[in-house]
Structure 1
């Protein structure tokens, strides 16, 4: 690798992972948490229905749980969403730097 190539390697995060890897990990974790929340709320709605003597269909309970989980996850997972947003910004910044470097190299050639 030339000196120029070495300068374009993005700096790694303090945890030793790249912003793209952190973004992927956080997105998977956030998605799994939200799905688990929907499942838990679905079971809770079905359980409350059974206690009340009402047979709630699973599809209806799932629809209600998705509607409830959206604002609830916005409140409960604020920190994780902020980390995802910062990871997206870091990945975007890295792409922008690579694109500018490529354009600069093409202009030199």
Structure 2
């Protein structure tokens, strides 16, 4: 149990690796950010109406996007970290595959 690879399966169970998991995480993060913009735009549109103030939809949408940008970094930090880790994993695998291919093309056995 002192082997360093003992920690790896726990990490795999928490965050599945692979392009499918990365695509899912990116889709979830994007959907969460879009929903945040929609909720903020609705709040900006309808809360002032309770006080008799009309705000145009374009202005509400613009402010919602501007507010959602930094807010999503804080609210969705765990999901953003998962996306970043997934991108790093895919990139590391791509680099390893490329190095293996280059080694085989040079006539060296990469294994």
Scaled by the length of structure 1, the TM-score of the pair is 0.82
Residue deviations 1:46-97 (CA, integer Å, cap 9, x gap): 1112012111111100000000001110100010111111101100010001
CA distance in 1, matches of 2:75, 2:35: 13
Count of residues in Structure 1 that have an aligned counterpart in Structure 2: 97
CA distance in 2, matches of 1:55, 1:43: 12
CA distance in 2, matches of 1:45, 1:62: 8
* 1:14 shift after superposition: 3.4
User: Is 2:17–2:86's contact at 8 Å kept on the other side of the alignment?
Assistant: no
Secondary structure of residue in 2 paired with 1:56: coil
CA distance in 2, matches of 1:70, 1:61: 14
Q: Point out where structure 1 has 5 or more consecutive residues left out of the alignment.
A: 1-12
Q: Which has the higher contact order (CA 8 A, sep 6+)?
A: 1
* 1:31 shift after superposition: 0.4
RMSD value over aligned CA atoms? 1.8
Match of 2:50 in 1: 51
Match of 1:37 in 2: 36
CA distance in 2, matches of 1:18, 1:79: 15
* 1:98 shift after superposition: 0.6
Match of 2:62 in 1: 63
CA distance in 2, matches of 1:40, 1:18: 31
Q: Point out where structure 2 has 5 or more consecutive residues left out of the alignment.
A: 1-10
Match of 2:73 in 1: 74
